Amino acid sequence: MAAGGKKLRNRMADDAMISTMKTDMGGSGSWESGYALITGASSGIGEAFARALARRGQALILSARSEEKLHSLATELRQGGCEVEVCAADLAHADGAFSLRRRVEEKGWGVSLLINNAGFGSGGDFASLALEDELAMIQLNISSLVELTHWQLQRLRANGGNGQGAGRSGGSQPRGAIINVASVAGFQPVPYMATYASTKAFVLNFSWALWRENRDEGVHVMALCPGTTRTNFFQRAGIQERHFFSLTPEAVVDLCLRGLKRQQPVVITGWANRLSVASQRLARRNWVVNAAAGFVREATLDKTAGVK
């Protein structure tokens, strides 16, 4: 207990130190005026975000576990004239988010757009899955996301977000923005992906609540809820990939950025996913759970977890 308490005190002291550092938030511009910090940027939706924002000329900070993949992507994007920084971090580790934000603070990179995209899932009967993988999933999908979101909100609001009038749809563009990647799985319980769906339900409701708390503070918070997307997520989660009604990562990102421009609190990608979410509200809960159980159990290949 003594060692743990000392570690906590040291971290709190470091936290207090970096929070006093000056950071340029890009003047009085919008969320496009500073850096976009993207977690899980080495592949899939995160990589698609990086490419889309690079085409718009936004400076980027790319983060993921694989530093090699990040540098490869950064080199390619820099050839197109984009300013790109790389900051590898393992957000499934308890100190991962702290290490990432400390590096950003020390470098003085003013982040106006945070995209919490890093996450992973697992498929199988919960009691048969490795507990350490499920706890790592909660750390990555929830705890690190909460820590980075809290950090970014404090920075944005301390640097002029307050009173800038992010407001409701149709108002001026917000000074800063946060995109938390949830999932359509977050709208319902999903047997055989129980932990994953529950973490995404948290992200969805957390983001919706923060949208309301910050909509008059010059900061826009939104949840992105993709359905089946053509990434390696299902393979790594040990689940058979289903391609019907699936979207490319590029299409998901395009819909998300359109929604961000309109200051939507939640973006559900694809008409089939929107229809599915709407129909769940009309059906009995046990019917929805049983249908999800049959679909996922059939698609489960093994009991391994995968990280993107």
298 Cβ neighbours under 8 A, 6+ residues apart: 240
**Of 58, 4, 55, which is closest to residue 36 (Cα–Cα)?**
58
Beta-carbon count within 10 A of 131 CB: 9
Active site residue 196: yes
d(CA 179, CA 112): 11
d(CA 253, CA 126): 31
Structure tokens at 243: 């391609």
d(CA 75, CA 210): 35
Answer for the pair 224, 181: CB distance below 8 angstroms, yes or no: yes
Answer for the pair 119, 176: CB distance below 8 angstroms, yes or no: no
Q: Which of 196, 202, 233, 234 is catalytic?
A: 196
Taking the alpha carbons at both ends of the chain, their separation in whole angstroms is 34
DSSP-derived secondary structure letter, 300: B
Alpha helices in the chain (DSSP H): 2-19, 44-55, 67-79, 96-107, 131-138, 145-156, 194-214, 233-237, 249-261, 271-280, 285-299
DSSP-derived secondary structure letter, 176: E
d(CA 182, CA 195): 13
The catalytic residues are 196
